[in-house]
Structure 1
Amino acid sequence: MERQDIVVFLALAEELHFARTAERLLLTPASVSQSIKKVERRLGAPLFTRTTRRVELTPLGRQLLDDLAPAYAQVEAAIARAVATGHGLTGDLRLGYMSAAITRPLLALIDSFRAGTPDIKVSIQETTLADLYGPLRRGEVDLCVLPLPVAEPDLTVGATLLSETALLAVAADDPLARLTSITAADVADQTFLFAENLPGYWIDHHLPTNSATAKVTSLAGFQELLAYVVSGHGVAVVGAQTEQFYPRPNLTCVPLEGDPTFDYALVWRTDDEIPLVRAFLTHVMNQRTS
């Protein structure tokens, strides 16, 4: 059997529908039918029973599927490994991420990436707001999903993986918690809590009020920030999934006027784009356009 005939047979055995198989393989239904008939002539018996209403495997078709599918998967895996090795796509890819909100889309991308590059080991490491760019610059991770904006000359920003609504975290007994939308005037006298060591441009971007007059307090990290919020020591701009992933008694998140967002994008060292990084970035782009 030629490779194309194997691919058509396995797809039809899964779809049990000629038109859907043709659409999946970017072929015409006639091409699918011709391929199956060619194999059936070689084997001397039908692989499928066809009626106007359904397509089913014959006992011979079921036997061929059981024998052929695992063997073909092994061949495809061997070819994928050879291609990966030939292009330098082996080894460990270390991915950093910040915020539990990004884990689901990130892990979905990692799973599909691993399926096509079985010899690449992908590990993930959670990073922190207080050390936003440190893991990348110290070489602890090869790629990192970071909250925007990132305006650093030694770092390159790629595809945005998640965009979530930005909300204002306040204590549940704060008068602000009773508002349906918070304006700049509502928080003019508030103390805004941010993690320490964040760039000034990053803080200015996320402040919902005039940055020149805003009162800002820096804390050790995100967990400390939330502790201060629920105790009434200030407010903080957070992502919409904060209440789900970081629940706290007495914590409420209120919409901000203008519906600002928290955007998370892939970032890497500009002068150190290793083959594994390029491969993952290409995979992400292909997934977004498919």
Structure 2
Amino acid sequence: MAGLELRELECFLVLAEELHFGRTGERLYVSQSRVSQLVSALERRVGGRLVHRTSRRVALTPLGERFVQRLRPAYGGLREAVEDARAAARGVEGALRIGFQGTADARLAAAVRAFRSAHPECATDLVEIPLADPFGGVREGVVDAAVVLLPVREPDLVLGPVFSRRPQTVAVSREHPFASRTAVSAAEVAGTALVTAGPPAPTYWRTAHAPSEVPGPAVSTLQEGLTQVAAGHAGMLLCRPTAAYHRREDVAFVPVEGVPESALGLVWHRDGGSAAVRAFARTLADRGVSLGEAPVVA
């Protein structure tokens, strides 16, 4: 560890992403030759080749692959520690935009109030994001973090606190055969048409929220989905709190047995975990929710 240079580690991590000396230099605001010098210095410090260099391509060696897998989370933790120390020194300030889908859960609203009380210098806004685009707002910078329905299998996103695990219901029109039932099974739900989120929601996410063998209409928002339900075009899976919040005379909400519970999670971009985002994640965690893994890749 003697003489360890963080700039060498940072340069290697960027090069592992870009696999191009020129683009790495552009991202770090240094020359291509400086990138080569930093990587060579790190290789001497490690005692082995980390990168294969040819005139046509750049690739990590097996040693480089193993090193980057160990280094990335450690470097991220170090960067977060520095950011947290800075935040503690000056207080969390600026602005925090939190996205939510359809309905802001009661625990989310309570966490926002607690965060505002603890960090009055940070302006906090809640922004509705489309049901059909759970991750786009975070990726495009529309929001700093988003509360989304699980599952999350996005390698560029971090999954923080997971909360509000609730039983599910199926919303159907009052004329649907399920409407008079006290409960239905997962197999019965799989045999009826269900509303699904449209693109750009990833396929695995859409399937999780519409586990049916019968095609149903694709929608962009929760209200569009409930309108399709009321018109008798399909059913729609909703957690019980959301069903209670959106009660209407022309829709019945029937408990479903045998399907996984619904759950919400706070996500943010791997490169966008500001001090405010992490402070808000801690606020959620302090209120008794569980912490997810970061990053989530499976």
Q: TM-score range by the shorter chain?
A: 0.5 to 0.7
Specify the alignment match of 2:114 in structure 1.
Answer: 112
Corresponding residue for residue 230 of structure 1: 230
Uncovered stretches (5+) of structure 1, i.e. residues with no partner: 1-82
Aligned counterpart, 2:203 = 200
Q: Which residue of 2 aligns with 1:164?
A: 166
Match of 1:130, as an amino acid? A
Residue pair 1:192, 1:214 contacting (<8 A) in 2 also: yes
Residue matched to 1:129: 131
Is contact 2:167-2:261 (8 Å) kept? Answer: yes
Q: Percent identity?
A: 33
Which of 96, 99, 103 is the aligned partner of 1:100? 103
Between structure 1 and structure 2, the one with the greater Rg is 1
> Normalising to structure 2: TM-score of the pair?
0.62
Matched residue SS, 1:169: strand
Aligned to 2:281: 281
Q: Distance in 2 between matches of 1:86 and 1:272?
A: 20
Please, what TM-score do these two structures have when normalized by structure 1? 0.64
| 2:264 matched residue in structure 1 | 264
Q: Distance in 2 between matches of 1:92 and 1:260?
A: 35
Quote how far apart the aligned CAs of 1:222 are: 1.7
The answer on whether the counterparts of 2:168 and 2:237 sit within 8 Å (CA) in structure 1 is yes
State the secondary structure of the residue aligned to 1:192: coil
SS of 2:248's partner is: coil
CA offset digits 1:68-95 (Å, max 9, x no partner): xxxxxxxxxxxxxxx8572462111111
Q: Give 2:244's aligned residue.
A: 244
- Hey, what's the Cα distance between the residues in 1 that align with 2:261 and 2:189? 18
Q: Give the letter for the 1:173 counterpart.
A: E
Shift of 1:215: 2.0
Contact map agreement 1:170 1:252 (CA 8 A) in 2? yes
**What code does the residue aligned with 1:90 have?**
E
Deviations 1:45-88 (A, max 9, x none): xxxxxxxxxxxxxxxxxxxxxxxxxxxxxxxxxxxxxx857246
Corresponding residue to 1:190 among 189, 192, 196 = 192
Contact 1:101 1:241 in 2 (8 A): no
Distance of 1:284 and 1:255 partners within structure 2 = 28
Distance 1:109 1:101, change over 3 A: closer
Give the aligned partner of residue 19 of structure 2.
none
The yes-or-no answer on 1:255 pairing with 2:258 is: no
Change in Cα spacing, 1:250 to 1:258, as seen in structure 2 (3 Å) is same
Specify the SS of the correspondent of 2:152: coil
Q: Partners in 2 of 1:286 and 1:186 — Cα distance?
A: 39
Aligned pair in 2 of structure 1 residues 149, 262: CA closer, same or farther (>3 Å)?
same
Alignment correspondent of 2:180: 178
Contact 2:130/2:220 (<8 A) preserved: no
CA contact (8 A) 1:88 1:275 kept: no
Counterparts of 2:176 and 2:128, CA distance in 1: 32
CA RMSD of the aligned region, Å?
2.4
Q: Give the direction of change, closer, same or farther, for the CA distance of 1:287–1:244 in structure 2 (3 Å limit).
A: closer
- 2:124 alignment partner AA: V
Count the aligned residue pairs.
204
- In structure 2, stretches of 5+ residues that fail to align are 1-85, 290-298
- Aligned with 1:86: secondary structure? helix
State whether residues 183 and 208 of structure 1, in contact with CA within 8 Å, keep that contact through their aligned partners in structure 2: no
Alignment-derived partner of residue 16 in structure 2: none
- Structure 1 residue 116, shift from structure 2 partner: 2.2
Match of 1:150 in 2: 152
Matched to 1:125, the amino acid is V
- Please give the alpha-carbon distance, in whole angstroms, between the structure 1 residues aligned to 2:216 and 2:177: 20
